[in-house]
């Protein structure tokens, strides 16, 4: 009986001593004497490593150390230790007193860890940005990843509605990884955003424009990797989620041009000029790609729907011309269009034996050659008025050469000689 009473007294004494140790550590925490609080809680945990209340207090103390400029050197890995201690304390599910304390604190230690990691990552990123310090960006990446891990833990326990893809945080991980040269990590996190079809945050405003980056980067990544399926997947996703941005239309146009899939390329162009009817560049490029397909394709390529495409070419050139009648390349292409049209008709005329039809076709060709002149002349004039810039020399000589061919086709030798002289004089004029 005496032995039993002694055992009970001993147990009560140990419990009281533990409680006093925790109370002492807590009083140091409240007084912001974090060095003393750390010493007390470390001693307690060394004796009772699985104590729920002790680990919870350790989480609070170490989280405070991590956020203190004065004391953070005491434990460089303070947040990691705080996170592990918090998880241990939550595992003590039978301790109702502890549960009530955690609820009373509104889970503040774990939320402070989440925001602490995030802010530390942002600070590291901003510090690395001015010099492009890769090591600094890698630090930011790792801190953001730790914030994401804490966020997942919070979400799994349903303490907050943090999404599985924590949009801004995941974007920051990928951006930091990209700047750190960690493309494998960037790929993982950009894919998380894209596969979740993220195009911003609610109320994000102008900041949401940065969420186009994952789709742009993934498109180029898979294009370089020659992974057609994933390249098209993310290009079409980007086009769907960012309909006002032309990047993905242009990427797809380049892709179909490289693949020599003219039908798909022209279809994309048609979508683009319908979306941007006031863009001179898009109308011109559409016309230029049609021209290249019809007249500059590899030998043996059968041009499909040539007449229909020539009509589209003419229509796109006219729209570009209406936007800016002084544009050099539009005038140049317009002149080539009429010149080539005249050449095509002349070739057809040479193959017919019908005298009347031959004469009619020659007259039609002459009309097209004549229509080509004012456009080429306008382009030449614009380049001359620009001050004979050296960078324009090659273009100028090409247009002058086109005028020689036009006047040669019209049998106007005086004009032909005039443009031959212009051509010969060009190198001396375009020197600045």
Confidence (pLDDT) at 301:
84
- Tens of pLDDT along 287-314? 999 999 999 888 778 898 999 999 999 9
pLDDT at 204: 80
Supply 146's token pair.
């730790």
Query: In angstroms, rounded to a whole number, what is the distance separating the alpha carbons of residues 138 and 132?
Result: 11
pLDDT of the residue at 9: 46
**Angle (CA) 277 284 314, round 5°:** 90
Which residue numbers in the chain have pLDDT < 50?
A: 1-2, 4-6, 8-17
The rounded distance, in Å, linking the Cα atoms of 390 and 400 is 15
Predicted pLDDT of residue 92: 77
- Tens digits of residue pLDDT in 380-399: 999 999 999 999 999 999 99
pLDDT at 17: 47
pLDDT confidence of residue 405:
97
> Would you list the domain boundaries of the chain?
325-432
CA distances from 39 to 55, 131, 167, 301, 328 (A): 14, 39, 39, 82, 78
């Amino acid at each position: 009986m005496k032995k039993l009473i002694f055992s009970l007294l001993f147990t009560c004494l140990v419990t009281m001593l533990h409680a006093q140790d925790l109370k002492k550590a807590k009083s140091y925490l409240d007084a912001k004497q974090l060095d003393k609080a750390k010493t007390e809680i470390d001693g307690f945990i060394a004796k009772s490593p699985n104590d729920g209340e002790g680990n919870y207090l350790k989480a609070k103390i170490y989280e405070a150390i991590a956020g203190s400029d004065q004391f953070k050197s005491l434990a460089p890995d303070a947040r990691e230790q705080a996170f592990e201690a918090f998880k241990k304390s939550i595992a003590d599910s039978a301790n109702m007193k502890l549960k009530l304390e955690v609820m009373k604190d509104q889970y503040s230690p774990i939320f402070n860890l989440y925001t602490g990691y995030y802010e530390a990552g942002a600070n590291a990123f901003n510090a690395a940005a001015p010099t492009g310090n890769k090591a600094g960006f890698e630090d930011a990446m790792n801190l953001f990843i730790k914030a994401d891990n804490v966020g997942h833990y919070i979400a799994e326990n349903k303490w907050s509605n943090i999404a599985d893809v924590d949009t801004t945080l995941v974007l920051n991980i990928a951006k930091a990884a990209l700047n750190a040269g960690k493309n494998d990590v960037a790929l993982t996190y950009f894919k998380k955003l894209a596969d979740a079809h993220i195009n911003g945050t609610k109320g994000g405003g102008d900041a949401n424009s940065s969420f186009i980056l994952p789709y742009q980067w993934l498109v180029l990544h898979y294009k370089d990797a020659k992974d057609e399926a994933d390249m098209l997947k993310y290009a079409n996703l980007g086009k769907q989620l960012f309909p006002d941005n032309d990047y993905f239309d242009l990427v797809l146009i380049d892709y179909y041009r490289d693949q020599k899939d003219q039908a798909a390329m022209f279809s994309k162009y048609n979508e683009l000029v319908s979306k941007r009817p006031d863009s001179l560049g898009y109308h011109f490029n559409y016309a230029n790609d049609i021209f290249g397909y019809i007249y500059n394709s590899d030998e043996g390529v059968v041009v499909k729907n040539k007449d229909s495409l020539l009509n589209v070419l003419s229509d796109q050139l006219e729209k570009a011309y209406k936007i800016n009648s002084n544009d050099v390349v539009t005038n140049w292409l317009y002149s080539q269009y009429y010149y080539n049209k005249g050449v095509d008709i002349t070739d057809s005329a040479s193959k017919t034996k019908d005298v009347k039809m031959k004469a009619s076709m020659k007259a039609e060709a002459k009309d097209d050659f004549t229509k080509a002149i004012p456009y080429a002349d306008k382009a030449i004039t614009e380049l001359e008025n620009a001050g004979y810039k050296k960078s324009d020399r090659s273009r100028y000589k090409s247009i002058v050469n086109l005028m020689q061919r036009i006047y040669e086709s019209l049998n106007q030798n005086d004009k032909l000689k005039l443009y031959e002289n212009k051509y010969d004089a060009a190198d001396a004029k375009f020197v600045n």
